[in-house]
Amino acid sequence: MRPVAVVDFGAGNLKSVVKAVQYLGYEVRVTRSAQDILEAPTLILPGVGAASPALEELEAGGLAEPLKKVVQEGRPFLGICLGLQVLFEFTEEGDRPCLGLLKGRVKRLPPGVKVPHMGWNLVRQKRPHPLFDGVPNPSYFYFVHSYYPAPEDGGVVAGETEYGLAFSSVIIRDNLVATQFHPEKSGQLGLQVLRNFLALSASL
């Protein structure tokens, strides 16, 4: 099995991601090194918290460009929660540009719902994909977030969730996979999603 690099950019939630990947039998390297990222065969970008300090940390550590290069070169990449949001062009959280790997914006959840959206909610699969092998449609996964992705291209949306509106909760474009929910905190079905991504990564 190829080793998996998990990027530590000060956004937390590393331990549960590392533990889940190790449980599935993979070697994990937690890293803040640009060189490690450039050499990683498979990359996971997890995160919770605010976008602005996370993006500042990525830029200050010289990690933004290596992350872009990994995705652009077609290597397997998984973004989780904040690790999904920073992939877009712009976020309303802090009103600032992001990495620009996906066209679209990250928006505040609408008025009238409790923020953050925290707890279990349904993900409805929008199209078949190996990421969902063994995962019933719909299924519950665990969320913690106050902002949501609004991609320009509806073709990248593989899963949706209702919370005040229907938002994109799974994004898939070629080698890039990203979930607004936390698979590492979503029990056996979350582990299945991680297992599917890691199995898929071997074929990319």
Tens digit of pLDDT per residue, the chain (204 long)?
678 999 998 777 789 999 999 999 999 999 999 999 999 999 999 988 888 898 999 999 999 999 999 999 999 999 999 999 999 999 999 999 999 999 999 999 999 999 999 999 999 999 999 999 999 999 999 999 999 999 999 999 999 999 999 999 999 999 999 999 999 999 999 999 999 999 999 887
pLDDT of residue 59: 92
Catalytic status, residue 56: no
For the chain, domains (ranges, CATH) are 4-201 (3.40.50.880)
117, 145, 160, 182: the active-site residue? 182
Go through the chain and tell me how many residues it has: 204
Q: What predicted TM-score, i.e. pTM, was given to this entire model?
A: 0.96
Q: What is the distance, to the nearest Å, from the Cα of residue 156 to the centroid of all Cα atoms in its chain? A: 13
Give the integer Cα–Cα distance in Å for 145 and 181: 8
Q: Which of 114, 107, 203 is nearest to 147 (CA)?
A: 107
Spatial contact of 86 and 55, defined as CB atoms under 8 Å apart = yes
Tokens for 6, please give them. 């998990």
57, 73, 81, 93: the active-site residue? 81
Catalytic status, residue 98: no
Spatial contact of 96 and 50, defined as CB atoms under 8 Å apart = no
Catalytic status, residue 81: yes
pLDDT of residue 47: 86
Q: Which residue has the tokens 């060189």?
A: 35
